[in-house]
Structure formats: structure tokens, C-alpha cells
Amino acid sequence: MTERSVYASLKLMPMPTSPGPDTADAVVVGGGTVGAWCAYFLRRSGLGRVVLVESDLLGQGASSRAAGVVRLQGGTVAAVQLAQWSRRFYLSQREELGTDSGFTQLGYLLPCFTQADVSAARARLAMQNSLGVAARWLEPGEVDARNPTLAPGQTLGGTFCEDDGYISPPRNVAAYTAALLATGVDIRERVAFTGLSLRAGRLSGVQTSRGPIATGTVILTGGPKLAEVGRRSGLRIPAGGARHQIAVTERHPDLASSRVPMVFDVPAGLYWRPEEGGLLFGMSNPAEPPGDDRTVDHSYLDRMRGRLARLVPVTAGLGLRKIYAATIDYTPDHLPIIGPALAPAGPLAGVTVASAGGAGMMWGPAVARAAADVALTGTSEVVEVGSLGLDRFDEAGRSKLASDPVALPFPESV
């Protein structure tokens, strides 16, 4: 049976009832991008009763407040493969779901400003090309021609991928909500996860603010709240949350999407893309301590604007139409977590942990699919998950893997 025929059969299937005690074939904790798509993939894989527990409303965290970037130009093999899978999924959504997350192909430029930047970028480019990514090197003059709003003569070149783009975060929330409803996932909003139920050291269910649910399969997500989800489970999960600020300028004819690709100033951690005739830009402050914060730091916003004005002079005199902040998740090595939960005594059978490491729009569907696969079979064809589990971190949260070098700047500790 093909995936499409599986989906068609599930779409017509009523949600299984649960007579007597509350039971489920699987429980997913967290209704953000990773958790919601994970519940959908579990249901589509053939599980009868899948319950999604969300302490707030679906998508009320960073999932609806992100920039939506989907970039194939990752800094590691896993980052590239996860982005490739997610992009293919976004492109297939209309046929599969009848709706989509609004993927828009625009192209992404990663400029280089020093010889060290050039060397690192060319090495990444070779790796990306070997994995089938159609990225290419642009000489300085080609960078200026491809992005005429960029101050000329600022770069030593850069990499560019025409296939990169972005989605609409609110539309993505709507798409996964529709997918959950269509496939009969039991959505429980405003229901808090309070812990795991164990019997003789083995998983027997979950505890929630509305009572226990018996199950043998649990997937823990939660984005920037994943560490707290872990603590409630008696687990240590090295994932944190950090404030991320986004603003959108006033409209200007020079900022039309035909003149401005997406750009990531990797050394400064500043990115921008066209948005409704203006420029959307975002940046995180790695000097801030981890925590949940949606307020706007105007002094740091001014620093963001100063860097942007040097690179894109037309923005210097523009007002801002939107300013907002979200708390987004991160891991110490800027890579996702996909693997079994690790209790003090070792792996906790039946419990899988999933985090997109701050790249929920870019990697979220792929992380969700891989986590669902791991929960069901122990492995996944999406990405090699063996190195992405919790066992890569030591007691202090340090990873034995090299960090993804193409990532937003986050605190080094969690």
C-alpha cells in the first residue's frame, strides 16, 4: 500500500474509541511542529489510537512565530538530509493533505566576508553537492548582481541555492491541525503532561492534568520546554530555550522579492528575507541567559538594525511594521535530538525524545518522521539516527559531535 493510499484510508476512518480506562497506542507530548507532525506520521503509519497532549493550544509557541526558513545549505550531513526530507514533504503536502504550509522557493545566499569564511563555505559546498544539493559558489560580482540591494563590494563571494525557500508558520500550524483532524488523532489541548507511569521499571503510560493514559509508546517533544518535560519524566534532556527577535520593515520598491533573495550573515547570526514588500530580519543574542522570554529587547534590536543597514543600506531609513519575539529551542551542538530516552539506569524502552534544535520549520517534519520511525522500529530512513541520540551528551551536557556551523547563535549552556 502506498503512502497516499494509506493516508486516504485513514482520512475516511473515524477516530478509534477507547472504552473503559483511557488507553492509546501512542501518546505524543507537545503540539508544536515536531509533536504534531509526529502524531500525524504515527497515525499514518497504521497505529489505531494516537493521543496528542498539549498544555496550551496547538502551535501557540514558536511554531506560529518563526521566520519559516527552509535551507538545504546545512553545515553537517544530518542537517542537509533533514532539510531535504522536509522540503520534499512541504512540496508534497497539497496532493497529500489538500492544503500546505505555503512553501515559497526564493533562493538563499550565504555571503562570506573573510578568507576563513570562504574556506569553510567551500568545504560545506562540496559536502552539500555530494548529497545532491544544487548549491553553487558565487564570485563577489555575482553576489552583487544576484542581490542588488546588498551594499556592493562587501563580500568575498558566497554560496547560493536556488531551491531554498520559506514557509508560512501560521499556515504550517493550520496544515498540521488539518492533518491531525483528518487522520483522527485525539487532540487534547490545555492538558498538561505531568509525568510517565512506570511499572517494574517499564513504561505503562503517562500522567496528565486530566488523568492517566495507559500506553506502551510515548514521544516527548516540547521545543524550548523539552527540558522541563524531561524533568517531569525523571530524565535529563540537554535542550534549552532562548529569545529570538524578528522584525519587518516598511515597504520599499527595492525590497521586492525579485531583487532580494534570502540572506544569512552567518558570522553575525543575522538573516533576512522579503516579506510583504518589506524585509523580515531576525537575530538572537548568545550573551543572554537561557529562558522563556517573548519581550522585545530594543537595544539589541538597534544592534540588529545597524548591522542590517550596513549590508542593506535601503533599510536605514525605513520604519518597522512588526516587531515580535519568540522563545525557540536549541541544543548545545545545534543539532536535533532523535532517540530513546535515557534514564539513570539506561534506555527507557517505549519512550522516544525528539527536538529540532531550533530549526523547527527547516527540520521539523523530518525530525517528526524520524522520531515516529524510531518509536515504531528503532531506526529511520530519513536520516542516520545513531549519532543523534541523547547518548552523545555527557553529564554536563557537552556533545561529542561537532556543532553545526550554520546555525543561529545560541548560548553554549542549557
pLDDT digits (tens, 9 = 90+) for 363-410: 999 999 999 999 999 999 999 999 999 999 999 999 999 999 999 887
| 182 within a domain of the structure (yes/no) | yes
The pLDDT of residue 9 is above 50? no
Q: State residue 21's pLDDT score.
A: 65
Q: State residue 6's pLDDT score.
A: 37
How far apart are the C-alpha atoms of 413 and 330, rounded to whole Å? 10
CATH code of the domain containing 213: 3.50.50.60
What mean pLDDT do residues 313-326 have? 94
pTM confidence score: 0.93
Q: Based on the domain organization, do 151 and 176 belong to the same domain?
A: no
Q: Based on the domain organization, do 155 and 294 belong to the same domain?
A: yes
| 307 within a domain of the structure (yes/no) | yes
Q: Based on the domain organization, do 53 and 29 belong to the same domain?
A: yes
State the residue for C-alpha cell 535515557: 342
Contact 185, 37 (CB under 8 A): no
| 45 within a domain of the structure (yes/no) | yes
Q: Output 17 or 208, whichever has higher pLDDT.
A: 208
CATH code of the domain containing 286: 3.30.9.10
Nearest Cα neighbor of 6 from 33, 43, 34, 37 is: 43
| 399 within a domain of the structure (yes/no) | no
What whole-number percentage of the chain has pLDDT above 90? 85
Q: Based on the domain organization, do 313 and 368 belong to the same domain?
A: no
The region of weakest confidence among 38-42, 45-49, 65-69, 311-315 is 65-69
Q: Based on the domain organization, do 156 and 206 belong to the same domain?
A: no
| 76 within a domain of the structure (yes/no) | no
Residues 6+ apart with CB under 8 A from 80: 72, 73, 74, 127, 128, 131, 133
Over residues 322-379, the pLDDT tens digits come to 999 999 999 999 999 999 999 988 899 999 999 999 999 999 999 999 999 999 999 9
Q: Based on the domain organization, do 258 and 300 belong to the same domain?
A: yes
Q: What is the total count of domains within the chain?
A: 2
Q: Based on the domain organization, do 246 and 326 belong to the same domain?
A: yes
Tell me which residue range forms the domain holding 109. Answer: 105-163+241-330
Contact 137, 110 (CB under 8 A): no
* Domain stop point among 290, 310, 330: 330
| 99 within a domain of the structure (yes/no) | no
| 92 within a domain of the structure (yes/no) | no
Total residues belonging to the chain? 414
Over residues 233-261, the pLDDT tens digits come to 999 999 999 999 999 999 999 999 888 99
Q: Based on the domain organization, do 33 and 155 belong to the same domain?
A: no
